Structure 1
Amino acid sequence: MVKLFCAIVGVAGSAFSVRVDESDSVDDLKVMIKARKPDTIKGEADKLQLFLAKTADGKWLPSNDPDVVAMRSGAVSEKVQNLLNGQIDPAEEIADVFVPAPQKKEIHVLVVVPEGAVGSASETSKMDQVVQEVHEIGMSTQR
């Protein structure tokens, strides 16, 4: 078993861990990620896009990196954006993808959830936008 730390890109919240066997596929990892975050991730697990959280020098992204800390509030820095190249092949085995072996205090997987498949905070923020728009329309018709 290997423990991987994941972060959902563009969604406020802390990184979370999932345990997978080295012989599992990346597709199995998607299923485990969705199962770990059912209130946050809606829709089918195979629609998730997974990216390695590796820096240009091949090292895993430290969990205390300022860009990772900013992700906790939903921010996506240019550094994180640049890591979203080359989606991990769902057919690959975990043992072949996660080299060097993941260590503590690192982020290993960046998760991108399809538009409309993010629950909780995203739904709340969309509802806030609708309420604001309705309020603005109401204010403009009163004038």
Structure 2
Amino acid sequence: MSIEVSNETEEQIDETEFVECARYVLDQMHVSSQVELSIMFIDPDPMEELHIRWLDLPGPTDVMSFPMDELRPGTQAAPVSEGILGDLVICPQVARQQALEAGHAAVEEMLLLTVHGILHLLGYDHAEPEEQKEMFGLQRRLLLEFLASRNS
């Protein structure tokens, strides 16, 4: 599994932590070890440019997902075949503000955004109430299990 993390901000990012989180989620979703994923941390201005360009929405956002080979979750018996899952772009400054409002650490927010973004790359969405219930429930479970696995 190729998971590449790059930090183009002044923020302190433990790249290993995000690789481990992504690997955990991909393993749980039965994605092949031959899949490629890129996670990039960028500042608000370039994030706003992406947000306007791709979604025609103003201001920076927290995370954007750019799927490549449109891979979907597999099963234990039939994991997702190899391919390029895609790119995640996270804005730590927006994440920090959201974490402050939610009452938890910025790193926890960015890990949540990592899980959220990977689920989008795997075809999950939250536009409809049923989709939101499924995606957010899965997102919560995966994040809590990952955090628990680090503390055991």
TM-score category of the 2 structures, normalised to the smaller one: under 0.3
Higher relative contact order (CA 8 A, sep 6+): 1
Instruction: Kindly name which structure, 1 or 2, has the bigger radius of gyration based on alpha carbons.
Output: 1
What TM-score do the two structures reach when normalised by structure 2?
0.26
What TM-score do the two structures reach when normalised by structure 1?
0.27
Structure number with the higher helix fraction is 2
